[in-house]
């Protein structure tokens, strides 16, 4: 029998705003509007991006963190992050941060002038009412739960961000942002006029969305490759973990759609895709790609 699901704190009412879904939308909007110079600065100096965030660096022997991040479990988490970094082939230290937010993300890359930063949601790492990340107990059956992720599923999300750091795709994203700003400038300042500027702007916007979704789809596969190394070069197991993690996101969306009428406006009835998440391919397509890889391994 499946373990009882832990209901999310903001999904009880029929018209509650799901904060993690709103965060997807705000992230997409900010990606299109934030000055690319700021993005470049944060890539070159991830420590500045960390200071501008609401995340806290995970440090050993820091009494101020004891209540939020117990020392013993934190040491195991930091060791695991280092192991996954080595599996990703990143030959520099990645600084982990933890915060009361909803998303994994990263800042910087292998060409950054300060150490790249990895940002993780607190509830994924220090699971409320459950064992902490890296210390999962078999009797918990976390893989069967709806609102908790197992250790391996959490590793998959971390590996996705390590993939972004390794591939340095932030640099191309910055270039695309510059193209969008250039399109806006052309729209207002050149003889191309309304039609020409609008066509250029839509083209740049389409390129941005296509590139973002391409990056994110690729990161699922990159994450599987990294996780496979961590699991003893077991590609099949790593792919199964990735599929399970994405299916859990899918089930969460469908559960929210059932209990929250507002979610029915943007979560698809078939497939549980979140239409507010412009930066990722739809969940069914991501799962289909991984299923194809799994079939190829048979």
Would you kindly state where each structural domain of the chain is located, as residue ranges? 19-297
Identify whether the C-beta of residue 62 lies closer than 8 Å to the C-beta of residue 207: no
Query: What's the confidence (pLDDT) of residue 172?
Result: 77
The distance of Cα 213 from the centroid of its chain, to the nearest Å, equals 12
- The DSSP secondary structure of 57-97, one letter per residue, reads E--TT-GGGTTTS-HHHHHHHHHHHHHHHHHTT--S--EEE
**In which order are the strands placed within the sheet that holds 95-99?**
56-57, 95-99, 117-121, 105-107
Q: What are phi and psi of 267, to 5 degrees?
A: -105, 125
Residues pairing with 95 in the sheet: 117
Residues 81/94, Cβ–Cβ less than 8 Å: yes
Residues 152-200: pLDDT tens digits?
999 999 999 999 999 988 887 777 777 777 766 666 666 656 676 677 7
Q: What residues have CB less than 8 Å from 123, skipping those under 6 apart? A: 100
Residue that has been written with the tokens 């806290």 in this structure: 56
pLDDT tens digit sequence for 101-133: 888 999 999 899 999 999 999 999 999 889 999
pLDDT per residue as tens digits for the range 189-219: 666 566 766 777 777 777 778 878 888 899 9
- Per-residue confidence (pLDDT) for residue 83, from 0 to 100: 97
- Residues, the chain: 298
Q: What are the pLDDT digits (tens) for 219-273?
A: 999 999 999 999 999 999 999 999 999 999 999 999 999 988 888 998 999 899 9
Give the helix/strand (H/E) hosting 210: helix 193-230
């Amino acid at each position: 029998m499946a373990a009882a699901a832990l209901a999310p704190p903001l999904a009880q009412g029929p018209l509650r705003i799901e904060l993690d879904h709103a965060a997807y939308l705000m992230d997409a909007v900010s990606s299109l509007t934030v000055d690319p110079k700021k993005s470049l600065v944060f890539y070159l100096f991830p420590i500045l991006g960390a200071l501008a965030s609401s995340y806290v660096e995970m440090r050993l022997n820091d009494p101020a963190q004891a209540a939020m991040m117990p020392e013993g479990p934190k040491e195991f988490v930091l060791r695991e992050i280092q192991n996954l970094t080595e599996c990703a082939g990143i030959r520099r230290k990645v600084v982990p941060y933890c915060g009361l937010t909803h998303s994994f993300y990263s800042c910087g890359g292998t060409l950054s002038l300060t150490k790249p930063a990895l940002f993780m949601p607190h509830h994924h790492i220090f699971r409320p009412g459950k064992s902490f990340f890296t210390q999962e107990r078999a009797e918990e059956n976390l893989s069967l739960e709806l609102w908790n992720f197992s250790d391996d599923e959490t590793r998959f999300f971390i590996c996705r961000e390590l993939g972004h750091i390794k591939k340095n795709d932030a640099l191309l994203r910055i270039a695309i942002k510059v193209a969008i700003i250039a399109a806006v400038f052309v729209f207002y300042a050149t003889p191309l006029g309304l039609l020409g500027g609008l066509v250029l702007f839509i083209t740049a916007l389409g390129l941005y969305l296509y590139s973002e979704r391409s990056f994110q789809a690729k990161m699922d596969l990159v994450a599987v490759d990294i996780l496979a190394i961590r699991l003893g070069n077991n590609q099949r197991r790593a792919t199964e973990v990735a599929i399970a993690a994405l299916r859990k996101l899918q089930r969460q969306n469908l559960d929210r759609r059932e209990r929250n009428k507002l979610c029915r406006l943007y979560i698809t009835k078939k497939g549980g895709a979140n239409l507010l998440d412009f930066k990722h391919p739809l969940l069914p397509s991501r799962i289909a790609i991984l299923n194809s890889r799994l079939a190829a391994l048979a």
